[in-house]
């Protein structure tokens, strides 16, 4: 738990008003010199110009020094923020068990490097597990819930054999965080609207080695499948309410989606992308943009994210109303049929077939 600041400054720490001491002292000296020095009260033009030049030069030097100190402190704050992002929302590994992966986020708060969106991907004994989520609100107020959910996922993903058990672990971690925050800061704290209003949309994916995709959705946008020159929503039933809004039901609907074939990719996103608008209030055409991206020959995760990001920023003029996160997972594994039956020279190998979707 983070301790509150003490009223007594630590040894070696500077007072927050220290940068203003020198300009204030110079202003007092200048006023005193103007009121008491006989030379300053002379009426000839040369004396006035000389006195004004000295005051301006020294004052400008002090202001420049103050600006330099503030820029140095700003660089230090930015370095700390980037280090915090590396720990909280660390970069995704480029490859996991034959899958190519990439992810990025666009905070809505200008100058921020972290926001209210979260994502992670890990290789476990149960398959490659991916999470993407969106905490209510954005900016610094949402970071506590982001840390609670991601921390629980990074531990429970290796321990829970099913997505249902994993989701219940995330729910307990979120409720524990909300309870501790409300106990320490009160339900009316600006970072919280009360325990009943704290919720997180969560999408969990379990990608098996044969390409089977299991999905458990709590109020999050469904992903898109990119492949065969097309982009289609990968919807699999009605999602659960967002995590934390209501108690979880006794039975959790883990869905088995269409198999992710080699060369195909999944595009995961938060609702900040689908709800982004241009200056005229029109929504960002995410599915149309993904359709154009899917027709390109190079469907690498980094290229997909770069194209969609550029299109989103151009459409909104760089003004986002909510945090946005993208995750792309492409299946780079060899088809099972080709591993069992090698293609003969001059004859094409067997094409992989897509099994019919089912629910579990």
Judgement on whether residues 23 and 75 belong to the same structural domain of the protein: yes
Quick one: tokens of 250?
């006794």
H-helix or E-strand spanning residue 153 = helix 143-156
What total of structural domains would you count in the chain? Answer: 2
Q: What is the pLDDT of residues 206-239, one digit of tens each?
A: 999 999 999 999 999 999 999 878 899 888 788 9
CATH number of the domain enclosing 241: 3.60.40.10
Domain that residue 70 falls in: 18-83
Do 31 and 151 fall within a single domain?
no
Q: Is 171 helix (H, G, I), strand (E, B) or coil?
A: helix
Q: For residues 179 and 151, give the distance between their C-alpha atoms in angstroms, rounded to a whole number.
A: 17
Among 83, 104, 128, the domain boundary falls at 83
Same domain, 57 and 76: yes
- What is the per-residue burial (b if ≥16 Cβ within 10 Å, else e) of 5-38? eeeeeeeeeeeeeebeeeeeebeeebeeeeeeee
Residues 78, 139, single domain; the answer is no
**118 and 264 part of one domain:** yes
Q: Which helix (H) or strand (E) holds 49?
A: helix 45-88
| Residue in 269, 263, 239 with CA at minimum distance from that of residue 252 | 239
pTM for this prediction:
0.72
SS3 for 141?
helix
Per-residue pLDDT tens over the stretch 258-308 = 899 999 999 999 999 989 999 999 999 999 999 999 988 778 999 999 999
Same domain as 201, residue 56? no
Place of tokens 């060369």: 263
Do residues 171 and 314 both lie within one domain? yes
Q: Please compute, for residue 196, the number of CA atoms within 13 A of its CA located in the half-sphere on the CB side.
A: 0
Same domain as 196, residue 158: yes
């Amino acid at each position: 738990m983070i301790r509150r600041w003490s009223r007594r400054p630590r040894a070696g720490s500077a007072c927050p008003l220290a940068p203003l001491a020198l300009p204030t002292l110079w202003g007092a000296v200048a006023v005193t010199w103007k009121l008491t020095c006989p030379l300053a009260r002379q009426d000839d033009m040369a004396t006035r110009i000389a006195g004004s030049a000295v005051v301006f030069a020294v004052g400008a030097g002090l202001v420049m020094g103050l600006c330099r100190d503030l820029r140095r402190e700003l660089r230090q704050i930015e370095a700390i923020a980037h280090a915090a992002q590396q720990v909280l929302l660390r970069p995704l590994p480029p490859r996991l068990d034959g899958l190519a992966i990439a992810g990025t986020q666009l905070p809505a708060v200008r100058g921020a490097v972290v926001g209210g969106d979260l994502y992670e991907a890990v290789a476990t004994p149960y398959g490659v597990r991916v999470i993407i989520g969106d905490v209510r609100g954005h900016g610094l107020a949402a970071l506590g819930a982001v840390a609670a959910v991601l921390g629980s996922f990074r531990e429970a993903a290796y321990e829970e054999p099913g997505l249902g058990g994993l989701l219940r672990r995330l729910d307990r971690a979120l409720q524990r965080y909300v309870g501790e925050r409300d106990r320490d800061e009160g339900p009316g704290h600006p970072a919280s609207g009360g325990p009943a209003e704290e919720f997180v949309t969560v999408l969990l994916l379990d990608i098996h080695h044969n390409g089977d995709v299991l999905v458990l959705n709590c109020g999050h946008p469904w992903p898109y499948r990119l492949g065969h020159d097309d982009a289609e929503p990968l919807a699999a039933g009605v999602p659960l309410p967002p995590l934390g809004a209501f108690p979880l039901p006794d039975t959790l609907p883990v869905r088995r989606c269409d198999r992710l074939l080699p060369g195909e990719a999944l595009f995961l996103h938060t609702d900040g992308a689908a709800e982004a608008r241009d200056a005229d209030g029109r929504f960002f055409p995410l599915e149309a943009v993904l359709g154009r991206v899917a027709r390109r020959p190079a469907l690498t995760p980094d290229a997909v994210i770069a194209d969609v990001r550029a299109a989103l920023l151009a459409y909104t003029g760089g003004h986002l109303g909510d945090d946005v996160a993208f995750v792309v997972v492409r299946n780079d594994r060899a088809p099972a049929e080709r591993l069992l039956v090698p293609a003969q020279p001059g004859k094409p190998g067997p094409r992989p077939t897509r099994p019919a979707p089912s629910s579990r």
